Amino acid sequence: MSFKRIFQAVETHSGEPMRVVTGGVPNIPGNTVYEQMKWLEKNDDQVRLLMLREPRGYPPLCCNLIVPPKHPDAAAGYIIMEQVEYPVMSGGNTISVATVLLETGMIPMQEPVTEFQLEAPAGLIGIKAECHNGKVTKVTFKNVPAFAAYTDTVIDVPELGKVTVDVAWGGMFYVIADIRQFNWLKLVPEQGREITRVSSLILKAAQDQLPVEHPDYPGVGITISQLSGPTDNPEADWKNAVTVASGAVDFNNPATWTGALDRCPCGTGTCAKMATLYAKGKLKLNQPFRHEGLLGTVYTGHLVEEVQIGKYKGVIPTIGGQSWIYGYSTYVLDPADPFVNGYTVGDIWA
């Protein structure tokens, strides 16, 4: 039988499910991985829709395409795809991509440590992978610069009132709110539905009230929200719950006040949080920051250098964490399938 499209993928998770597509990737024009990402978004978005929507996907899922690197210093390139956007950088996805490349032999593994560079749409990402008995036990990556755009800023949020937030770039623009402002809410999986409701309302209000700009990515605004607070885990310093949008939020339609919770501690979200702490004088260079996700797993970050990003004082972060392979898959598009871009249904999608 002849199929319209065939993809081979490695299924991974770091708590969060993150698919890595290694075969069936189309030829994508561009002189950089960023240019390839923009071409794909404009000309072949079907790849993202097929991989992330039903029946092949579901709201929390992320996906990555392995592509040949364009930078001479990179061992491989990757394009990150999420439910409503193509992020230029993602921490958990970077950890998963590095794990797949090493554990499948696409990049030779050297024990006890393998070091190489990957080309993300955001640029070169330095990888240091700890390896034992053919297994990647930890990936630490050096991220693009992070910076705080707003700190301790009050916005008006329908249903919630006045909420104090930070906005920071860690590879995506995050709006971050301390959960202690909401005395009925805790950062536990059992309250996931309420976490996504509160987070989506804050996201929309921040998008409306807090304009942001990145010197390298004009037009990219706040696309993701994070609730943040103390933890009672002795192995962590702070806890977070990131809500990834699965559609646009409309204040007049409560059915859209939702999203998918990031099941991992969130790498770029950790970088954004560290940038706000640094801006407030609460985190120093080279001070470890152990960030716990909703499932109790922890990423450890460090700020290693101060830099200037346009008008912003920024910092270079590193993030360390682990990802696990849980399956290998082949996905096809039947020529008679009426849902050529997959589908969503309002029971679990915004």
Report, as residue numbers or ranges, the catalytic residues: 90
Inter-CA distances, 104 with 65, 79, 98, 155, Å: 15, 19, 10, 47
d(CA 102, CA 108): 6
- Cα torsion angle, 171, 147, 350, 191, sign: positive
Q: Please give, one letter per residue, the 3-state secondary structure of the chain.
A: CCCCEEEEEEEEEECEEEEEEEECCCCCCCCCHHHHHHHHHHHCCHHHHHHHCECCCCCCCEEEEEECCCCCCCCEEEEEECCCCCCCCCHHHHHHHHHHHHHCCCCCCCCCEEEEEEEECCEEEEEEEEEECCEEEEEEEECCCEEEEEEEEEEEECCCEEEEEEEEECCCEEEEEEHHHCCCCCCCHHHHHHHHHHHHHHHHHHHHHCCCCCCCCCCCCEEEEEEEECCCCCCCCEEEEEEECCCCCCCCCHHHCCCEECCCCCHHHHHHHHHHHHHCCCCCCCCCEEEECCCCCEEEEEEEEEEEECCEEEEEEEEEECCEEEEEEEEEECCCCCCCCCECCCCCCC
Query: Which of 154, 158, 155, 156 has the alpha carbon at shortest distance from 256?
Result: 158
**Which distant-in-sequence residues (6+ apart) come within 8 Å of 338 by Cβ?**
none
